[in-house]
Structure 1
Amino acid sequence: MADSYAARRRAAIKEAAFEVLAEKGYKAASMLEIARRAKASNETLYKWFGNKQTLFGALVEDNAKEARELLQSALAEDHDPLDALTRLGPVLIGIVCGEKAVALNRAAAGDVFETGTLGKTIAQHGRNAILPLLTNLFAAAARAGKMTVTDPQEAADTYINLLIGDLQIRRAIGVTPIPGESEAATRSARAVAAMRVLHAA
């Protein structure tokens, strides 16, 4: 029961941290304000998370874990690697362009000249964690004779660039809204079509 209560309190603190981050930005987001929003003591926040960078680092890890689980689920449901890739595109766009990802990317930019830790955490738990999953998918496509791929990791990197392009940075600087389902599906289909041409079997 105690563990369950602590988990709920941690979740409430993290949700409050996202709210404060989205509203005030990284520099103005204080542990005191987050504690107030979460109806927790400032002492509790420092006891559980240590400092602001560690708290936001925990948010990065949670968001990345959710992303990996969604991708793994999409991959597991399809026996055809290219069908999986088509389904995967909109999921990946939703992950990297969603409100939480945008807030965290902005926070990382704000932390560059303070500790520089958030950007490294995002890279470690984001692209660096997702790329191996996509690499495995392209390796599977090559084994199945669906594509000609000599370097699955390079293919995965090319696919991400085709799918996302500058969309993530445009979201971070606030010049474009979250892509709707139709736009995400179109971008995904276009990226897969390009990969089929580049790596025709």
Structure 2
Amino acid sequence: MLQTTTEMMEGEGPTARQQDVLDAVLRLLVEEGDRLTMTAVARRASCSKETLYKWFGDRDGLLTATVQWQASKVRVPPVDRKGLDLASLTSSLERFASDWLRVISSDTSIALNRVGVVHAGSDKRDLGAIVLERGRFALGRRLKPVLEAGREAGLLEFDDAETAFRTFFGLVARDVQIRLLLGDRLELTEAGIDGDAVRATQQFLALHGAKTGPKAL
């Protein structure tokens, strides 16, 4: 039975060979932007178009898998809801923030988002919608359970998980992504990214950290 793109990405994930193909797509997006074709991907990845169609269905399926593959590089470390403390919650948020900053500052993400913006402003809205659904919205679905676990443990205070997530997202991103998309050559060092992740997490905890201390377990 043909494995769908969603099943591939949300199950065990893509195989090593499929990862090679998705990385080839990302490189081609950097080089060619919206001119990406299945023929070009097959040539770059040294595989047949028949294999691409078998794995991904069509060009939109391939783009969807590529966006999901890129977004999967932003890790959301699992938390122990029963034993969650401030240190483990902070570590989880910092890891998410640093991974996300590394991903959005990469040449491949910049190219992917630029093509998505172009699509969103034209009659070809496919990639713009894919980037939103499989990128930003998917990341929200993955991190919000961590925020809710923090609230259940008495470590965080907020009324709405989506609003809290947007606050954290904004503190992490600041103006970095828009500046990169517009061609600003920001020099984001590894140390600088880690420092920004710590700073954003501390700012978020200052806004939403519980004032009465954690609940008794």
- How does the TM-score come out when normalised to structure 2? 0.73
Aligned to 1:152: 161
- Aligned runs of 1:18-37 on 2, under 5 Å? 18-26=26-34, 28-37=35-44
1:167 aligns with 2:176: yes
Match of 1:4 in 2: none
Residue among 65, 71, 76 paired with 1:71: 76
1:54 counterpart = 2:42: no
Q: Secondary structure at the match of 1:126?
A: helix
Shift of the 25–147 alpha-carbon distance from structure 1 to 2, 3 Å rule, reads: same
1:86 equivalent to 2:94? Answer yes
Task: Tell me the distance in 1 between the aligned counterparts of 2:16 and 2:159.
Answer: 47
Distance 1:187 1:8 in 2: 32
Task: Note the C-alpha offset of 1:51.
Answer: 4.2
Given residue 132 of structure 1, which amino acid in structure 2 is its aligned partner? Answer: R
- Whether 2:109 is the aligned partner of 1:101: answer yes
> CA distance change for structure 1 residues 137 and 25 in 2, over 3 Å: closer, same or farther?
same
53 and 147 in structure 1: CA distance in 2 versus 1, 3 angstrom threshold: closer
Q: How many residues align structurally?
A: 192
Q: Is the 8 A contact 1:89 1:188 kept in 2?
A: yes
Distance in 1, matches of 2:151 and 2:56, equals 44
SS in 1 for 2:200: helix
Indicate yes or no: 2:128 matched with 1:123: no
**Structure 1, unpaired ranges of 5+:** 1-6
What is the alpha-carbon distance in structure 2 between the residues aligned to residue 8 and residue 88 of structure 1? 24
CA offsets per residue over residues 90-145 of structure 1, 9 Å max, x none? Answer: 12212333333222212212333242111111111122122133322222222333
SS state of the match for residue 36, structure 2? coil
How far apart are residue 183 of structure 1 and its match?
Answer: 1.5
Amino acid corresponding to residue 193 of structure 2 in structure 1: A
Two-structure CA RMSD over aligned residues (Å): 2.9
Q: Distance in 2 between matches of 1:84 and 1:50?
A: 35
Identity of aligned residues (%): 27
Which segments of structure 1 move beyond 6 Å, counting only runs of 4 or more? Answer: none
1:4-29, Cα deviation, whole Å (9 max, x unpaired): xxx56544433322222111222x33
Q: Could you say which residue in structure 1 is the equivalent of 2:45?
A: 38
Residue deviations 1:47-80 (CA, integer Å, cap 9, x gap):
654543332222112223343xx2135x46x753
Aligned residue number for residue 208 of structure 2: 199
* TM-score normalised over the length of structure 1: 0.78
Q: Which runs of 5+ in 2 are unaligned?
A: 1-14, 212-217
